[in-house]
């Protein structure tokens, strides 16, 4: 059974392997299980390695309310309008960091049936897609800030976590 994994679990730093629709467990079941965990933890995105699954899959809730499962996702185009904004992560409770990301992207992924989808995202949706895609490459949002900024954020995190 899948469960949310927290830092410092080393799986969060591992690169995920491609999703194989022929040889892996049912994609629709994985998508639903991940959406349940994401919503139970009040998140807007959740990557496979955050639930112990080293496969290229993540789920996210778009600003318009749609929930999508993205299998073998990639970014086709990112604009040069980089925005610095606050991010959190379910695997790093109460840690908030300012991260610079593309404001608009055109992305592609396979849905749970293996059909290719192309989507244009901006703002929070774009940020979430990029954050979750990083997870699949073993990159966490803590790697985008200086040691000093991370130390300061960790201090606030400790206070919030009691």
Which pair of structure tokens corresponds to residue 70?
């993205």
- 132 included as an active-site residue: yes
Phi, psi of 21 (to 5 degrees): -65, -25
Does residue 84 contact residue 149 with C-beta atoms inside 8 Å? no
**Residue the block writes with tokens 């049912």:** 26
Q: What is the distance between the terminal CA atoms of the chain, rounded to a whole angstrom?
A: 29
Instruction: Please report, to the nearest 10 degrees, the dihedral formed by the alpha carbons of residues 132, 84, 121, 129 taken in order.
Output: 0
Of the residues 7, 31, 87, 132, which is catalytic?
A: 132
CA distance 22 to 19: 9
For the annotated catalytic residues, the residue numbers are 132
């Amino acid at each position: 059974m899948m469960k949310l994994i927290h830092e410092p679990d080393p799986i969060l730093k591992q690169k995920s392997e491609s999703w194989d629709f022929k040889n892996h467990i049912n994609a629709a079941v994985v998508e639903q299980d991940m959406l349940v965990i994401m919503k139970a933890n009040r998140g807007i995105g959740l990557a496979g390695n955050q639930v112990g699954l080293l496969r290229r899959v993540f789920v996210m809730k778009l600003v318009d309310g749609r929930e999508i499962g993205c299998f073998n996702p990639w970014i086709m185009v990112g604009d040069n309008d980089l925005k610095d904004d606050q991010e959190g992560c379910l695997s790093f409770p109460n840690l908030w960091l300012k991260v610079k990301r593309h404001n608009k992207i055109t992305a592609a992924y396979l849905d749970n049936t293996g059909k290719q989808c192309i989507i244009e995202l901006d703002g929070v949706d774009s940020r979430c897609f990029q954050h979750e895609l990083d997870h699949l490459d073993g990159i966490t949002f803590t790697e985008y800030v200086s040691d000093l900024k991370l130390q300061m954020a960790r201090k606030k995190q400790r206070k919030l976590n009691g």
